[in-house]
Amino acid sequence: MGLRADMHEHALDNLKYIRSTMENTTAFTAVPGYGMILVGCSALVAAWLGNGAKSREAWLAIWTAEGMAAILLGFIALIWKANHSGVSLLSSPARRFGLGFAPPLLAGAIFTASAARANHYGEVAGLWLLLYGSGVITGGISSVRPVLLMGMAFMALGAVALFTPGEFNDICLAVGFGGLHIVFGIWIARNHGG
Protein backbone atom coordinates (compact mmCIF):
# COMPACT_ATOMS: atom_id res chain seq x y z
CA MET A 1 0.00 0.00 0.00
CA GLY A 2 1.42 3.42 -0.93
CA LEU A 3 1.83 6.48 1.26
CA ARG A 4 -1.23 8.06 -0.28
CA ALA A 5 -3.46 5.08 0.59
CA ASP A 6 -1.89 4.85 4.06
CA MET A 7 -2.75 8.45 4.83
CA HIS A 8 -6.26 7.99 3.46
CA GLU A 9 -6.79 4.94 5.70
CA HIS A 10 -5.30 6.66 8.71
CA ALA A 11 -7.51 9.73 8.30
CA LEU A 12 -10.60 7.54 7.89
CA ASP A 13 -9.66 5.56 10.98
CA ASN A 14 -9.19 8.76 12.98
CA LEU A 15 -12.59 10.09 12.00
CA LYS A 16 -14.19 6.75 12.93
CA TYR A 17 -12.48 6.91 16.31
CA ILE A 18 -13.70 10.47 16.88
CA ARG A 19 -17.26 9.50 15.95
CA SER A 20 -17.35 6.40 18.16
CA THR A 21 -15.85 8.30 21.13
CA MET A 22 -18.45 11.05 20.78
CA GLU A 23 -21.25 8.47 20.58
CA ASN A 24 -19.99 6.66 23.69
CA THR A 25 -19.79 9.92 25.55
CA THR A 26 -23.27 11.14 24.78
CA ALA A 27 -24.82 7.80 25.67
CA PHE A 28 -22.96 7.73 28.90
CA THR A 29 -24.14 10.36 31.34
CA ALA A 30 -27.89 9.78 31.56
CA VAL A 31 -28.37 7.22 34.33
CA PRO A 32 -28.44 8.67 37.87
CA GLY A 33 -26.70 6.44 40.45
CA TYR A 34 -27.79 8.38 43.52
CA GLY A 35 -31.37 8.38 42.24
CA MET A 36 -31.22 4.61 41.89
CA ILE A 37 -30.04 4.27 45.50
CA LEU A 38 -33.03 6.33 46.66
CA VAL A 39 -35.39 4.25 44.51
CA GLY A 40 -33.85 1.10 45.98
CA CYS A 41 -34.44 2.33 49.54
CA SER A 42 -38.05 3.21 48.80
CA ALA A 43 -38.54 -0.25 47.25
CA LEU A 44 -37.22 -1.91 50.41
CA VAL A 45 -39.82 0.02 52.41
CA ALA A 46 -42.51 -1.03 49.92
CA ALA A 47 -41.39 -4.67 50.14
CA TRP A 48 -41.60 -4.53 53.93
CA LEU A 49 -45.06 -2.90 53.82
CA GLY A 50 -46.21 -5.26 51.06
CA ASN A 51 -45.15 -8.30 53.03
CA GLY A 52 -47.48 -7.22 55.84
CA ALA A 53 -50.40 -6.31 53.57
CA LYS A 54 -53.74 -7.83 54.57
CA SER A 55 -54.97 -8.44 51.02
CA ARG A 56 -53.62 -8.75 47.49
CA GLU A 57 -55.39 -5.48 46.62
CA ALA A 58 -53.56 -3.70 49.44
CA TRP A 59 -50.30 -5.30 48.27
CA LEU A 60 -50.91 -4.06 44.74
CA ALA A 61 -51.80 -0.57 46.01
CA ILE A 62 -48.51 -0.41 47.94
CA TRP A 63 -46.44 -1.45 44.92
CA THR A 64 -48.37 0.85 42.59
CA ALA A 65 -47.61 3.76 44.93
CA GLU A 66 -43.98 2.63 45.03
CA GLY A 67 -43.85 2.47 41.24
CA MET A 68 -45.11 6.03 40.95
CA ALA A 69 -42.74 7.26 43.66
CA ALA A 70 -39.84 5.50 41.93
CA ILE A 71 -40.67 7.09 38.58
CA LEU A 72 -40.85 10.53 40.23
CA LEU A 73 -37.62 10.02 42.20
CA GLY A 74 -35.84 8.66 39.14
CA PHE A 75 -36.98 11.56 36.99
CA ILE A 76 -35.89 14.18 39.54
CA ALA A 77 -32.51 12.46 39.85
CA LEU A 78 -32.21 12.32 36.05
CA ILE A 79 -32.82 16.07 35.79
CA TRP A 80 -30.33 16.72 38.60
CA LYS A 81 -27.65 14.64 36.98
CA ALA A 82 -28.31 16.04 33.51
CA ASN A 83 -27.98 19.61 34.85
CA HIS A 84 -24.91 18.69 36.85
CA SER A 85 -23.11 17.15 33.88
CA GLY A 86 -24.39 19.65 31.34
CA VAL A 87 -26.32 17.10 29.28
CA SER A 88 -29.65 17.98 27.67
CA LEU A 89 -32.60 15.68 28.35
CA LEU A 90 -33.75 16.47 24.84
CA SER A 91 -30.54 15.15 23.32
CA SER A 92 -30.81 12.10 21.08
CA PRO A 93 -29.20 9.68 23.60
CA ALA A 94 -31.67 10.82 26.26
CA ARG A 95 -34.57 10.38 23.86
CA ARG A 96 -33.22 6.97 22.83
CA PHE A 97 -33.03 5.94 26.47
CA GLY A 98 -36.62 7.05 27.10
CA LEU A 99 -37.95 5.37 23.97
CA GLY A 100 -36.26 2.10 24.87
CA PHE A 101 -37.19 2.21 28.53
CA ALA A 102 -40.86 3.24 28.34
CA PRO A 103 -42.55 0.48 26.26
CA PRO A 104 -41.74 -2.44 28.62
CA LEU A 105 -42.89 -0.30 31.55
CA LEU A 106 -46.13 0.49 29.77
CA ALA A 107 -46.58 -3.22 29.01
CA GLY A 108 -46.08 -3.95 32.72
CA ALA A 109 -48.71 -1.38 33.71
CA ILE A 110 -51.24 -2.82 31.24
CA PHE A 111 -50.52 -6.36 32.37
CA THR A 112 -50.93 -5.31 36.03
CA ALA A 113 -54.31 -3.70 35.33
CA SER A 114 -55.40 -6.86 33.54
CA ALA A 115 -54.16 -9.09 36.39
CA ALA A 116 -55.96 -6.93 38.98
CA ARG A 117 -59.16 -7.12 36.95
CA ALA A 118 -58.91 -10.91 36.78
CA ASN A 119 -57.84 -11.06 40.43
CA HIS A 120 -54.87 -13.17 39.36
CA TYR A 121 -51.61 -11.99 40.90
CA GLY A 122 -49.43 -15.10 40.58
CA GLU A 123 -47.08 -13.85 37.85
CA VAL A 124 -47.21 -10.13 38.59
CA ALA A 125 -43.93 -9.85 40.56
CA GLY A 126 -41.97 -11.98 38.12
CA LEU A 127 -43.25 -10.11 35.10
CA TRP A 128 -42.57 -6.72 36.72
CA LEU A 129 -38.94 -7.73 37.24
CA LEU A 130 -38.67 -9.25 33.79
CA LEU A 131 -40.21 -6.27 31.99
CA TYR A 132 -38.29 -3.71 34.04
CA GLY A 133 -35.07 -5.57 33.26
CA SER A 134 -35.85 -5.63 29.55
CA GLY A 135 -36.62 -1.88 29.69
CA VAL A 136 -33.29 -1.20 31.35
CA ILE A 137 -31.48 -3.23 28.69
CA THR A 138 -33.27 -1.70 25.69
CA GLY A 139 -33.05 1.82 27.14
CA GLY A 140 -29.45 1.49 28.18
CA ILE A 141 -28.20 -0.56 25.24
CA SER A 142 -25.58 2.04 24.38
CA SER A 143 -24.98 3.04 27.97
CA VAL A 144 -22.30 2.02 30.45
CA ARG A 145 -21.74 -1.63 31.43
CA PRO A 146 -23.41 -1.52 34.89
CA VAL A 147 -26.72 -0.49 33.30
CA LEU A 148 -26.76 -3.50 31.01
CA LEU A 149 -25.66 -5.82 33.81
CA MET A 150 -28.42 -4.46 36.04
CA GLY A 151 -30.99 -5.12 33.31
CA MET A 152 -29.75 -8.68 32.94
CA ALA A 153 -29.84 -9.21 36.71
CA PHE A 154 -33.45 -7.96 36.83
CA MET A 155 -34.43 -10.31 34.02
CA ALA A 156 -32.75 -13.27 35.71
CA LEU A 157 -34.50 -12.46 38.98
CA GLY A 158 -37.79 -12.11 37.14
CA ALA A 159 -37.34 -15.58 35.70
CA VAL A 160 -36.58 -16.94 39.17
CA ALA A 161 -39.68 -15.22 40.61
CA LEU A 162 -41.89 -16.72 37.91
CA PHE A 163 -40.77 -20.25 38.77
CA THR A 164 -40.81 -19.99 42.57
CA PRO A 165 -43.83 -20.16 44.90
CA GLY A 166 -45.80 -16.94 45.47
CA GLU A 167 -44.58 -16.48 49.06
CA PHE A 168 -41.12 -15.62 47.67
CA ASN A 169 -42.47 -12.76 45.53
CA ASP A 170 -41.82 -10.06 48.11
CA ILE A 171 -38.28 -11.30 48.62
CA CYS A 172 -37.65 -11.24 44.89
CA LEU A 173 -39.09 -7.72 44.64
CA ALA A 174 -36.99 -6.55 47.60
CA VAL A 175 -33.83 -8.09 46.13
CA GLY A 176 -34.60 -6.65 42.68
CA PHE A 177 -36.13 -3.21 43.06
CA GLY A 178 -34.38 -2.71 46.41
CA GLY A 179 -31.06 -4.54 46.37
CA LEU A 180 -30.13 -4.34 42.69
CA HIS A 181 -30.97 -0.63 42.50
CA ILE A 182 -28.83 0.10 45.54
CA VAL A 183 -25.86 -2.02 44.46
CA PHE A 184 -25.79 -0.78 40.85
CA GLY A 185 -26.69 2.75 42.00
CA ILE A 186 -23.56 2.83 44.20
CA TRP A 187 -21.49 1.43 41.33
CA ILE A 188 -22.76 4.09 38.90
CA ALA A 189 -22.57 6.93 41.43
CA ARG A 190 -18.97 6.11 42.33
CA ASN A 191 -17.67 5.50 38.83
CA HIS A 192 -19.89 7.42 36.45
CA GLY A 193 -20.28 10.90 37.83
CA GLY A 194 -23.12 10.67 40.35
Partner 1 sequence: MAAKAHLDLVPLPQKAVNLDQLIHERVRLGIVSALAATKKLSFGELKEILNLTDGNLSIHARKLEDAGYVTCRKYFLGRRPQSEYELTATGKKAFEKYVNHMEALIQAMKPKEK
144 counts as binding partner 1 under rule CB under 8 A: yes
User: Could you tell me if 74 and 36 are in contact, meaning their C-beta atoms sit under 8 angstroms apart?
Assistant: yes
Question: Closest CB to partner 1 among 64 and 85?
Answer: 85
Q: Which of 41, 61, 121, 194 binds partner 1 (CB under 8 A)?
A: 194
124 counts as binding partner 1 under rule CB under 8 A: no
User: Could you tell me if 96 and 142 are in contact, meaning their C-beta atoms sit under 8 angstroms apart?
Assistant: yes
Scan residues 57-96 and list those touching partner 1 (CB under 8 A).
85-87
What is the rounded CA–CA span in Å between residue 133 and residue 113?
19
Binding mask 29-58 for partner 1 (x = CB under 8 A): x-----------------------------
Radius of gyration, alpha carbons of the chain: 20
Query: Which phi and psi angles does 54 have, rounded to 5°?
Result: -80, -30
8 counts as binding partner 1 under rule CB under 8 A: yes
Question: Closest CB to partner 1 among 22 and 113?
Answer: 22
Stretch that binds partner 1, among 20-28, 65-73, 150-158, 167-175 (CB under 8 A): 20-28
Q: Which residues contact 131 (CB under 8 A, 6 or more apart)?
A: 104, 105, 107, 108, 111, 158
What is the rounded CA–CA span in Å between residue 6 and residue 79?
46
15 counts as binding partner 1 under rule CB under 8 A: yes
User: Could you tell me if 130 and 124 are in contact, meaning their C-beta atoms sit under 8 angstroms apart?
Assistant: no
192 counts as binding partner 1 under rule CB under 8 A: yes
Chain contacts with partner 1 (rule: CB under 8 A): 3-5, 7-8, 11-12, 14-15, 17-18, 21-26, 28-29, 85-87, 144, 190-194
